[in-house]
Structure 1
Amino acid sequence: MSSSGHGHTPAAWTGVIISFIGFCVAGAFIVLANVPGFWAGMALIGLGAVVGGLMRAAGMGQEPKRSAKPLAQAQAQPQES
């Protein structure tokens, strides 16, 4: 796993796989000149984003990174003894 952990979660993998299938469906139906099939593929792309977001909200995504700003401020203030 990389040090940043970017995208190595079930939520990310599921969202990307669903969206990839949507891209394939939309691409195939564009070649076949089938407008409803193309829009079905586009809907799958959106569904991938929604499913990934819901899975992240359910705790299967990456934890948000904490900002380094509060830590830097705490170190800059002198500590009282």
Structure 2
Amino acid sequence: MSAESTDQGHGHSPAAWTAVTVMLIAFTLGTFAFWFDQAWLVWASAGLLAAGALLGWIMKKAGYGVNGAKSDPKGH
């Protein structure tokens, strides 16, 4: 392995974890809403899914992404 690694951390950051958690909750909620035939809740969970992606992007820009100013990288 070379001394110069281009590894970006594979999303091990507060921004990535928050975005994925919110989107996983939205997807799960949407699946149950679809199963119980609740159209309004399916659409609300789709909105929450988009909000999760937006939240991750905002957190990344605020410095909580991989190698961000406010991120505390952990060793493997």
2:63 aligned to 16, 36, 59, which one?
59
Separation of aligned partners in 1, 2:23 and 2:66 = 19
User: How do 1:33-72 and structure 2 match up within 5 A?
Assistant: 33-63=37-67
Which aligned runs of 4 or more in structure 1 are off by greater than 6 angstroms? none
TM-score by length of 1: 0.72
Q: Which runs of 5+ in 1 are unaligned?
A: 65-81
Matching residue's letter, 2:22: I
User: How do 1:2-81 and structure 2 match up within 5 A?
Assistant: 4=7, 5-63=9-67
Aligned residues: 62
CA-to-aligned-CA distance 1:24-72 (integer Å, 9 cap, x gap): 01000000011001011111100100100000000000249xxxxxxxx
Q: CA RMSD in A?
A: 1.6
Separation of aligned partners in 2, 1:62 and 1:13 = 11
Separation of aligned partners in 1, 2:48 and 2:31 = 12
Question: Which of these two proteins has the greater Rg computed from alpha carbons?
Answer: 1
Q: Which runs of 5+ in 2 are unaligned?
A: 1-5, 69-76
The secondary structure found in structure 2 opposite 1:38 is helix
